[in-house]
Amino acid sequence: MHPRLLALKSAVPPYVIAQSEAAHYARSLFAQVRDIARLIPVFENTGIARRYSCVPIDWYVGDHGWMDRTKLYVDNAVDLLESVTRRLLEEANLKPDDIDSIVAVSTTGVATPSLDALLVERMGLRRDIQRLPIFGLGCAGGLIGLSRAADIATARPGSKVLFLVVELCALTFRKNDISKSNIVATALFGDGAAGAILSTDGEGPEFGAAGEYTWPNSLDVMGWDMAEDGLKARFATSIPGLVASDFRSLLDQFLARNDIDFSQIDAFACHPGGAKVLDALEDSLALPRGGLQDSRSILRDYGNMSAVTVLFVAERMDVRHKPQRTLLTALGPGFSAAFLMLDGQGLEIK
């Protein structure tokens, strides 16, 4: 019995930041950087038009430490997760008491008790609910976490598993960090939340094979450094090159292990790490430039929301209702690649 995707929803915080406005603020805040004029074009080259933030743009001008950032993280993360959960329950025609397990993913803040426990208290979910908080998977967290939720649904047939992911990348901004990584992160990341409900009972596309690969000697490629005033972004310029050189062979190995032919894949829902990563993914998948249309449009409209983004792509592709086999992919710290098949071939066209 394969688990099915019963519901898929997303949410964003209230503040909209146009990319042109972000570039204007960045030019002022990073004025002390000698070659800032050379770096500012990164805002235009991301392919991003706007992003959403849990704080207004004036917040970025001030100084913020761990206490300030953490309170904002917890308050906004729980608000967004509650919004997503209520939408999921409505779509799946379920009540809060119907949820047996909850998997919650986030890597942009720290909360103990964890976000899932805070949501249980906020929404009055069952006291015997099975909880699994996941931290540290970065941009791959949405996909790997979804795979773990599918494992739980498979192990407990008939149970209803609530999967949630939230990332508040805006709160990691550091105005006094003039490193290239911080400036690129400022141009790239946005805030958002998404979720799904899975069960072996119900209607929806089936979850199929899942797999991961972690590159050797790649721990410095992507991640967080812990600074006195908060999390500090770390990622290497080699990421598009790693995708270009290795992604297709890793995908082919995953497909071979699971007896899937590449020609059987009807659609690709890829996490859009950035414009150059999307170029490399399209080349690896033998797609024309712009072939990952939905990934590019999500990047344009929301920016890179880390782990959340691949679920936004899947939602925009309407994978819940399309009679097709979709491959979901994501890349994250480790440095790791994640794959997940979603089979909707038995669904009726809507």
Which of 54, 139, 169, 270 is an active site residue? 139
Q: Please give the structure tokens belonging to residue 310.
A: 């691949």
Query: CA 131 to CA 259: how far, in whole Å?
Result: 33
Q: Tell me the sheet residues that pair with 337.
A: 213, 331
Query: CA 32 to CA 183: how far, in whole Å?
Result: 13
Q: Please give the structure tokens belonging to residue 114.
A: 């964890």
Closest CA to 328 of 244, 271, 273: 271
Query: CA 186 to CA 21: how far, in whole Å?
Result: 12
Helix (H, G, I), strand (E, B) or coil at 333: coil
DSSP 119: H
Residues in the chain: 350
- 50-53 and 15-18 as β-strands: parallel, antiparallel, unpaired? antiparallel
Task: Confirm whether 139 is a catalytic residue.
Answer: yes
Catalytic positions are 139
